[in-house]
Structures are given as C-alpha cells and as structure tokens.
Amino acid sequence: MITNYFILSVNLEEIIRENVNYLTMSSVGKLKDWYLDLHEVKGLSSVQTIKARLKNILRILGADTTVNQLNKKLITQYRNTRKAEPSTRRKDQLVAVATVNKEITALKVMLNKALEDELIESNPIAKSKMEKEDNVRERVLTDEEFERLLNTSPEHLKPVFITAFFQPMRRREITGLTWDEVDLKSRPGFIRLANKRTKGGKSGRAIALHPRVRETLSRLPSRFKDGCVFLYEYMPGKHRPFDDFKHAFDTAKTKAKIEDFVFHDFRHCAITNLRKAGNDYSTIMKASGHKTMSMFFRYNMVDEEDIAGMKWKGEVEKSSEEIIEKLIAAGLDPEEVKKAFNQEKEKEEVNAVNLER
C-alpha cells in the first residue's frame, strides 16, 4: 500500500512538473524569452538578427498566441501580412519573400529547440514549406563604376569599400574587423577570422589580402592602436567603430550615379573578380566561406566577357584535358569534383520539386 502510494506520488509530481512546463511555455512570447536567454543562442554571431526576426513574428501573430494555435493557415496569414509591408531596407519596395522565409524559419528553429527540451509536445509548423525565392542578384560593379563610387564616398568609408570590393567578406566581418585579425607582416598578408566571427560560427577563414587592400590597411592610423580597424571621427581627435552607414552609402551612390546596388553586392564583385583572375573554385570557396557549389554559383556572376571565351566543337576535348590537369595540380580528384557537382545538381532538382508541391 505504501509502495503504491509512493509510486502514485512520484507520478503525480512528474505530471505536475510537465504540465507546468507546457503551461508556462505555451505562448510564443514566453517561448521567445526562454529561447533568447539560452547560452548557446546568446553566443551566436547572428543573435541580433534572430531577435529582430522573432520580434516581427510576435508583432503580427501576438505574444499571447499559443503554440497549439499555430498552423499552416496562420503562417500563411503572417506571410501575406509581411509581404504587404514596406521594406525598411529598400526604398519604395515591399518586404522580400526571402526575408519572410527567414523569419518563419527562425520561429521553426525556436520551436524545434523547445520540442527538443520537452517544453512543448510538438512543432505544429515543422512541415510548413518555404515560399520559392527569386532573389538571385546579378549586380557586379565594373572597375570604372567602383572608382566613381569611391570618389564620391566619405573618407572613413573608402577603406571599407575597398576591402568589400576586393575581399570576399560579409559586411559585419568587415566593419567588425580588428587588428589582431589582420596580418600585414607576411606575404601577401592575411585576414584571419575565428569561427565566432563567421556566418554559422562553425569554422574560421583565412583570406589572402588583395594588394590594394594591403596598401589601404597599412596606411590607416588605427593600426597603431589595438581594436577596430575601421573607425569614424565623430569629434576632433576622437574615433569610434561604426556599422550603420546606409545614408552615407546611398548619398555616395546617388552622386556616382550608381543604381540597383546594395552593400552585399560587393561580395558578388569580389567573388566574380577572383574567378575571372583564374583562381580555382575550391580556393575561392575557402576564402568566401561558401560550403556548397549551388550557393557559390549565386555569387559568381557570368558576363559577356566570359561568354566571349566560350569553347567550340573541336576544342572541347583539349579543354577537358586542361581542366583535369588544373584540378590535379590543385590537389583535387577530378572524379570527386564531378561527383560533387552531380550531387549539388540532384539536390537542387529535389528542392525545386519540393517547392512546387
């Protein structure tokens, strides 16, 4: 009898504890507070972006919305509402499909973590499909356009733009660059980013310095101090790091008559120019941090100059032999490279089918 009472008591405590968890974490708002307080989330380089995405989710769905109320219909309503809102980043345009997809993905990731920690019973939107995105940008500045932009830019932004144009880096990797990440002593010089400074935070990168970037960095007065490479003089003799320069960037573009160009397009410029210079794909991908060929090709733009170098019948066999020789010289197995390309192609075809469903 006592044994049965003890077992019943333990089971009741377990039931009460589980019900308290489900009760306290039943609203999306409370889940968001719990999720953003996790040590592993706080340590992400993208934590501010995650906060912003979840903020939009709560603004539209409501913080008191329960997990059980989430369903495909509600997510569709959210998607339609967001796509009808004006973009805060692009003048006279609406919020992009890609932006909405990332916000919904942030919600799904949070719910998956709550499910993993047994705070909720299920993720009701786990199978929600992402809307097909048509956001591949093909804007690459010509050398002449870049020099025009540079001439109309404020002095403190010129080193930032030079670095962005020649180095395959992301904006925050550049604006957050510190002198302990820059090596000007070796040749050709390197930028070395620890894993916490890269997207995803899983692996670091070593990026060789373009000669013009090396020269630019070596002339910066901040090199005599520890801390950030790029500084803004907000008062005579006083400098501070900066990250938000949208207004100054837009003004410089207007003066230089540069249209349809965003800062992230600099990354397209750097990657495309590295490929045009004859660097092999694996080397560029190591420097840019791309993990898959499909994503790399989104940044590697092909123009008329490339098309002018098209091979013709009779040259193909010789061209294939040259490619194989270059792959072997680069330490790559031609069969493995071919296999990787085929796998990426199959992946893209599967994704395309899933999006159509």
Residue type, 287: A
Contact 79, 100 (CB under 8 A): yes
Which is nearest to 38 in space by CA: 124, 105, 101, 112?
112
What confidence score (pLDDT) does residue 295 get?
60
What confidence score (pLDDT) does residue 178 get?
93
DSSP string covering 269-290, please? Answer: HHHHHHHHTT--HHHHHHHHT-
What confidence score (pLDDT) does residue 16 get?
41
Q: How sure is the predictor about 297, in pLDDT bands with cuts at 50, 70 and 90?
A: low
Judge whether residue 194 has pLDDT over 80: yes
User: How far are the Cα atoms of 49, 65, 152 from residue 145, in angstroms, in the given order?
Assistant: 31, 50, 11
State how far the Cα of 190 lies from the Cα of 206, in Å rounded to an integer: 7
Q: Between the CA atoms of 302, 308, 314 and 318, what dihedral angle is there, to the nearest 10 degrees?
A: -60
As beta bridge partners, residue 192 has 206
What confidence score (pLDDT) does residue 174 get?
92
Tokens 């973590």 sit on residue: 113
Question: pLDDT tens digits, residue range 12-64?
Answer: 445 444 444 444 457 999 999 999 999 999 988 789 999 999 999 999 999 99
Judge whether residue 219 has pLDDT over 50: yes
Q: Which residue has the higher pLDDT, 340 or 7?
A: 340
State how far the Cα of 47 lies from the Cα of 9, in Å rounded to an integer: 42
What confidence score (pLDDT) does residue 352 get?
47
What confidence score (pLDDT) does residue 75 get?
94
What confidence score (pLDDT) does residue 140 get?
84
What confidence score (pLDDT) does residue 305 get?
58
Which is nearest to 261 in space by CA: 140, 86, 95?
140
State how far the Cα of 34 lies from the Cα of 67, in Å rounded to an integer: 14
| Torsion sign (Cα): 142, 146, 152, 157 | positive
Q: Which residue has the higher pLDDT, 199 or 36?
A: 36
State how far the Cα of 136 lies from the Cα of 115, in Å rounded to an integer: 34
Least confident of 28-37, 81-90, 225-234, 308-317: 308-317
What confidence score (pLDDT) does residue 23 get?
44
State how far the Cα of 142 lies from the Cα of 149, in Å rounded to an integer: 11
Q: Which residue has the higher pLDDT, 90 or 66?
A: 66
Other residues' Cβ atoms within 10 Å of the Cβ of residue 12: 10
For residue 85, the SS3 value is coil
Judge whether residue 262 has pLDDT over 60: yes
Question: Strand 205-208 and strand 190-193: pairing?
Answer: antiparallel
Q: How sure is the predictor about 347, in pLDDT bands with cuts at 50, 70 and 90?
A: low
Contact 251, 144 (CB under 8 A): no
User: Structure pTM?
Assistant: 0.56
For the chain, the farthest-separated pair of C-alpha atoms sits apart, in whole angstroms, at 92
Quick one: which H or E segment has residue 354? helix 334-356
Average pLDDT, the chain: 81
Q: How sure is the predictor about 161, in pLDDT bands with cuts at 50, 70 and 90?
A: very high
- 8-state DSSP, 158: H
For residue 326, the SS3 value is helix
Please state the separation of Cα 227 from the chain's center in Å.
24
What ranges in 117-233 are assigned the alpha helix state H?
143-151, 158-166, 171-175, 211-218
Other residues' Cβ atoms within 10 Å of the Cβ of residue 357: 5
Contact 254, 260 (CB under 8 A): no
